[in-house]
Amino acid sequence: MVRQALRSEAARLILLDRVPLHQETENEEVHTVDLRDAAAVESVLAGAGRVLHLGGIPDEAPLPDLLEANVLGTHHVLEAARRTGIERVVLASSNRVTGFYPATHLTGPQEPVRPDGLYGVSKAAVEALGRLYADKFGLSVVCLRIGSFEQLPTEPRHLATWLSPRDAVGYIRAALTAPLSTRFATAYAVSGNTRRFWELPGPAELAYTPADNAELHATAIPATDSPIDPAAPQAGPYALPEFTLKHLRP
């Protein structure tokens, strides 16, 4: 989705994946790279102006795997940016870094992290790395706490957490093009849902106003009128012990 949107706006779009990609337009440049290979990451990012980092394990997994892919991989991207002079890095964080706040609490990015699992822990570490590289090395880093990215909301939790494709592209575009005077920012990337759990970013954090609202699709989702337990965590089933226990040694 992001590739299709950005390639019409960039003079050169460099695409990295650990599986082979195919060049689809003349301004695309594709590379097969594993984020664990620091030298390879630096080599292909040399000459880039800004970086959007979406790579990693996207869900609960054993902690060693998450540390290697998400944390070490992000470190390699940030190091490549530092060493090659790239000024802006946008990091894909997750709403799961604050999944244990109650569903009735409107959570802002300045509140302490409360990860709902090992995946959330890895994304909290990703944000900490971004902050370090902003403070210590002067990179401009934006962390997007991505909501439930779906074509349409399909379950009750999505009424709070949905991130539409249109709004996902809007947030990413805003994060890539924000003034470089924005040294570090963390923002929830979520559509303008009436029932959302998270604060929308202000203009000082990110100049984007979401266009979509999951409430418009509520009638197509079963059980949307069930009462909300005020103590229930925002993460829903992701907060259950069973969700993490299967990735731990018995």
Angle, in degrees to the nearest 10, between helices 73-84 and 38-45:
40
Q: How far apart are CA 42 and CA 129, in angstroms?
A: 17
84: left (phi > 0), else alpha (psi -120 to 50), else beta?
Answer: alpha
Catalytic residue among 119, 133, 171, 188: 119
Q: Answer yes or no: 238 catalytic.
A: no
Which residues sit opposite 28 in a β-bridge?
Answer: 13
> Which one-letter amino acid corresponds to residue 24?
E
Which residues in the chain belong to E strands, given as ranges?
A: 13-17, 28-32, 50-53, 88-94, 140-146, 148-149, 162-163, 184-189
CA distances (Å), 249 to each of 59, 63, 246, in order? 18, 11, 8
CA distances (Å), 44 to each of 3, 34, 81, in order? 17, 11, 11
> Which of the residues are catalytic?
119
